[in-house]
Every structure is written in C-alpha cells, then in structure tokens.
Amino acid sequence: MQIFKVGGAVRDRLLGKPVTDIDWVVVGASTEEMLAQGYRPVGADFPVFLHPKSGEEYALARTERKSGRGYGGFTFHASPEVTLEEDLIRRDLTINAMAEDNEQNLTDPYHGQRDLEARILRHVSPAFAEDPLRVLRVARFAARYAGLGFTVAPETLELMRQLSESGELEALTAERSWKEISRALMEDQPQVFIQVLRDCGALKVLMPEVDALFGVPQPEAHHPEIDTGLHTLSVLEQSALHKQPLTVRWACLLHDLGKGLTPEEEWPRHIAHEHTGLKLIKAVNERFKAPKDCQELALLVGKYHTHSHRALELKASTLLELLQSFDVYRRPQRFEEFIAACEMDARGRKGLEQRSYPQADYLRGAAKAAREVAVQPLLEKGFKGPELGEALKRERLKALKIYKDAAPA
C-alpha cells in the first residue's frame, strides 16, 4: 500500500503558490484494508475514505470508462492492481496529473512539470474529450493562471471545440455548470474564462446571450472600445481588479445583454436595451439556477444601470423610485452592490479605467437622505396603513429635493 499526494497540491507547490486542498491517492490497497486501518468510507460512486485522524480524503487508485452522456456518464474501477500511472492518466490536464510521495519524490508520467515551466494547459490523453465539464474547468484554470502567462495548448483547444460541437455540453447539470462558472468568476482574471469559452465555441452553447454581444458596436463617444463583447470582458476584468463579490461579477457579465437584441439598422444606438435585456438575464439566471442574490442583483443592474450613470441628472421623483426598487431601507447592501457594478461598467471602457465615478457617492448620499426620514412624527400625526406609506413617500421626496438642490453642480 502506497500513498501519494496528487493534483492541485503538487501543481501549486511547484508553482510556489499556497497549497490549500490536498488530494491523496492510495495505490495497492483494497476497501477492506482501508476499513481495517480505521478509514471511514464516504464515496458513493467510487471508494473515497476519510483519514481516521486528519479527516482528509483518500481515494483508491481507479480507472474510468465512458458509459453515458455528461459529467456523470462514467463507470469507475478501483482495485489494488490499478497503478498510479493509470490513475493519473484519467485526469484533465498534465499539470494536474503529477504525484509525489511523502519525501516529495515526483511521479510525472505525462510531463506536467515541463508544461508548468512552459506555462501551457494541455490535456493528458484523448479521454479528455469524454467529459464535457472539462471545457469549463480548463477555461477556469486559464482564468486562474493567466497572470502567470499560462495559455491553452492549441490541440487542447481543438478538443474543447469538438466537445462544444458534440452536444455533450447540454448534458451538464445546472448545478455542476454553476459551480464551475461561479468559481471561475472569482478568479483573478474572470474575463479570460469567458474568452476561452468563446474561443472554443462553448460560450455560444452555454451562454448564447453573452456570445451574441461580440461584434455588436456601441457609440464610440461613450465606448471607445466600441465592441459590446469586449466591453463586457473589460467590465468583468474591472470587477476582479476591484475585488468585487460574486453577485457583482455576475451582474457585470449580464448587464448589457439587451444590446445583443438591437436590430443592426439601429446600431450603434441601443434604445431601451435595459428593458429588452431583462428576459435574457432571467433566462441565463434560470438556466444555471444562480443563487437568489445573484439573480436579483443581475436583474436590477440590467434594468437600472443607466439610471446610475445619469444619477446627477435624475429628478428627485426618479431617484426615489430607484431607491424604492432596491428597498434601500431594509437592504442597504444590495444598493451598495448595485453602485459597485455600475462603477465597474463605467470603468470597463477603453482608456477610461481610472476615471472617477462621482455618481457613486451621490447615490449613497441620496439613499442616506431618504433613510433619515423619521416615521415617528407621521405616526404621531395619526397616519397609518396605506396612508402612512404615502406620507412617508412624500417626506422622502421632499428630503431628496433638498438633497438634490444642495448637491454641488
């Protein structure tokens, strides 16, 4: 019985990056031997055990064979006869197919260390094309390691393209897809994830609404980068540079979907794209079963982002309507995330990345003015029920008019 550290822990140690999760593979052992040594079984599909003291996961070396569609369409075989090389060959990328023993002796049958040094993401074997989830995983690794100069090997990109065209991507469950997408969006360069998906044809299958933005022009006066797809990538890039949470990054990705529906004869203008895009944002939200907070913010940013950009020009009544839509009185954090997404949108324009966004503080001030309207005096005047709501609205509108008049021009 031999135990090896495998996958990401080996890869990240060789890259000099912090090692967080450790995967262990056990070669030459049976289920009975593992149980006899106190390991606790947890794997439903294949033998995985928890270490009796550390609680870390240890998997028996195994092979796998394609038996159906999608991520789950595999049968696994684990036995003491399965070698370490046989276990490693079923992995996705060469840089994830290395192992080391407790003395850090490296086992690298598929030249992962060479690809690490060359900064290449390359598939281990043709079996890569059997698992559609790997398209998303490779794009995610590209986003994670783009800052180190990693690129996807042309032959791997070609396999990803074949997978995208095969219909296999449609077999992915919403849950598995969202897990990869959400992790990728939180990487250092999430725009690379979207770009790689587009390069291999997967974006057209998974998010045709986002793919449709590429090649759609915008007015150069407001968008020097012109192309709406490139603008979306830039907004996503800004959201990562400014360490925004997942909710904001998801909203940044989807905020301009309506522009993909503008008839060509109306280009480069996109009148009412905020409203036409809502059905598309809703469709993408539902396709991946995004968490409720991500869904809500994406829809609100899609609908109101131009309100934010024009905040200083808005009438007090429009400002109040905006604040009411966000329920800033009970959910102030959601409005903060909206402002953040809109600022990323403004910064995601070629040459304007460093431009200030005074609308942010203006909107925060408006929200503060509306929140500070006291309810008690209205109660003391005898207002209650719907009448109280209307009175409160009137007082908030007064407060916003005063705020607007006092704001510097």
Percentage with pLDDT > 90 across the chain: 87
**176 and 189 in contact (C-beta within 8 Å)?**
no
What local confidence, expressed as pLDDT, does residue 334 receive?
97
Domain 1-117: which CATH class? alpha beta
Q: Of 210, 234, 212, nearest to 223 (Cα)? A: 234
DSSP 313: G
- Backbone φ and ψ for 39, nearest 5 degrees, come out as -70, 145
Provide the whole-model pTM.
0.92
pLDDT in tens, 105-150: 999 999 999 999 999 999 999 989 889 999 999 999 999 999 999 9
Q: Which CATH class is domain 119-206?
A: mainly alpha
Checking if the pLDDT of 48 tops 70, the result is yes
The pLDDT of residue 45 is 65
At 255-313, the pLDDT tens digits run 999 999 999 999 999 999 999 999 999 999 999 999 999 999 999 999 999 999 999 99
Q: Would you say the CATH fold of 119-206 matches that of 1-117?
A: no
Domain ranges of the chain: 1-117, 119-206
Is the preceding omega at residue 268 within 30 degrees of 0, hence cis? yes
- Separation CA 69–CA 204 (nearest Å): 20
Q: Can you give the pLDDT at residue 47?
A: 84
Question: Per-residue pLDDT tens for 194-225?
Answer: 999 999 999 999 999 999 999 999 999 999 99
Contacts of 273 (CB under 8 A, 6+ apart): 256, 258, 259, 261, 262
